Chain A
């Protein structure tokens, strides 16, 4: 194994942009050299951010490091990129089982077993979680249990992220990556509540900003500011999976809008940390 790692390291050093990082990091992981594995996996991910195998590998390393929350997010990313990814379904199934959510665990483990029917260990795991062999006679659910909706409901029930901030209900709007309103509110210049309409477009706008910044090599984007009729608008991402819109009268200095937006982003981050 040591020689394998040496050989793989040499290959990786000769061509850092190759996919050999997957094998090298996996070899290091199996040797329990987790920090080294993590470093290689992250280097690979920075080059191949849309490669499901890279996220899957990273998730396995995070799991070995007992960082289950981030591992879950990584496998969730894998399933967004590749919905039938065997490793991600197994991984998420394991994490759900570990978290005491057998229904969700079972859904993902059964999907994994369908993808790899020859894996006897996986079949045994499904039967163990289900409590018997008769699980195979039950129809496979078409969709996972409504965890995401539940999580959103919990988040929204946790109060407003901008409570106490000026303009919390009319000039600040926080949405998740699917455009679901998490907090705040937005009024048009004539006082109409436009929160839902803006929320629907906000996440997509943030995704376009991310794409433009990446492809034009602008680095990670910090803010998108917009001047419109009578209003200044600032769009930020308090976290990678949320978007925040702040508006302010156009007559005020641009610096004041930035300050206001940064303050709101900080409040949103603190609130998200609390509710998550």
Chain B
């Protein structure tokens, strides 16, 4: 057990993000060792999306935690989200053609529905007209 400058007991907990929650992986009394092992763990197990090292300080029976290291693909999520949000704006550029296709598909679908609706309307009008003329012919 090491102690900080104020004489408080400090341990470094390596935690991994598995199955939607943080799990304790191992405990160290040395920050550098803990961080090094966190990097090894992240590199070695691709199924672990995130690792962190938390300094746990005990003082008078109370525990305080502070994250001293974190490596995660979760951290990249805001950037990914931002990219997704900007896709419709950049859809017209050739470089983002593929990305824009998915976003513009619903618009195309609604346009075709509109054309079909107009065509159907015209067919109905013509049919009513033809029936009208036929009815007039019969009356004569």
A and B together in one complex: no
